Amino acid sequence: MYAGHAAVALALKTRDPRVPIAPLVLACYGPDWLETFLGFFRGRSEMALYTHYLPGLLTGALAAAALYTILLRRPGGWVILAGWLLHWPADFFTAHKGLLSPTDRVGLDLYNLPAADFAVEALLILACCALYGRTFAHSRGQRRWVLAMAALLVGLQAMLDSGLAQARPEWNPSLSENQWRTQRIFVLSVWVGQSLCMPLALSPATPSASEQWRSMA
């Protein structure tokens, strides 16, 4: 998701107006900024896997909320946390994002269906701007600024989607992981069981009672 993340920030701002908008928008785009920064060390596409899968997302969200609370000493750390965490469900619509493993990814892949992506993000922008306007814009001048902001965000989204459409995309939504895998608890119990069995399997063969009887006969 592109401009939709900014719309999510506007909606969150109405929940706690004490949180400044700039850190809130930064938090809503947090995994993308982190991916860009970490990309200088190991390559952006590789880092994107780790900043956007669920454990990485939760780690980043907790770190951002802690930084905000410690550095700015302001209330509303939970809004920063929520903004960072809401990045994943928003990106689920537009791309493929990791669940518990960075490589097994799910998503509706609307970036490869640019018209649908534009419709979804534009609707989200308009709804969130309406919510923001209802809370903060009471005069005509203020409402004009809300309208201008909504138009600019929709314009940015249109620019991105027209660029995506020129690449002749192929839509490939995915709602399941690439491969079936067992629960980790089960894998652990099998591993423990196997590690206990192995010494028995590799121990030197002992003669059974019938073999002993045969040798004595």
Partner 1 sequence: MDLTEALLKLLGFARDWSARARGFAFLLSLPLLVVTVADWRIRRRR
Shortest Cβ 9–partner 1 spacing (Å): 7
Compose the 97-136 pattern: x for residues touching partner 1 by CB under 8 A, - for all others: ---------------------------------------x
Beta carbon nearer to partner 1, 142 or 189: 142
> Where do the DSSP E strands lie in the chain?
97-98, 105-106
| 72 interacts with partner 1 by CB under 8 A | no
How many other C-beta atoms lie within 10 A of the C-beta of residue 209?
7
Can you tell me the distance from the alpha carbon of 107 to that of 153, in angstroms, rounded to the nearest whole number?
23
Q: Does the footprint of partner 1 cover residue 32 (CB under 8 A)?
A: yes
C-beta of 111: minimal distance to partner 1 in Å? 13
What counts of helices (H) and strands (E) characterise the chain?
11, 2
Site string for partner 1, 156-195 (x = CB under 8 A): x---x-----------------------------------
x/- string (CB under 8 A) for partner 1, residues 38-67? -xxx--x-----------------------
Q: How many CA atoms lie within 13 A of 141 on its CB side?
A: 0
In terms of residues, how long is the chain? 217
Q: Count the Cβ atoms, other than its own, within 10 Å of residue 15.
A: 13
How many residues form the binding site for partner 1 (CB under 8 A)? Answer: 34
Q: Which stretch binds partner 1 (CB under 8 A): 3-11, 90-98, 183-191, 194-202?
A: 3-11
CB of residue 37 to partner 1, shortest distance in Å: 7
Nearest CB to partner 1, comparing residues 62 and 156: 156
Residues that bind partner 1 (CB under 8 A): 2-3, 5-6, 9-10, 13, 21-22, 25-26, 29, 32-33, 36-37, 39-41, 44, 136-139, 141-142, 145-146, 148-149, 152-153, 156, 160
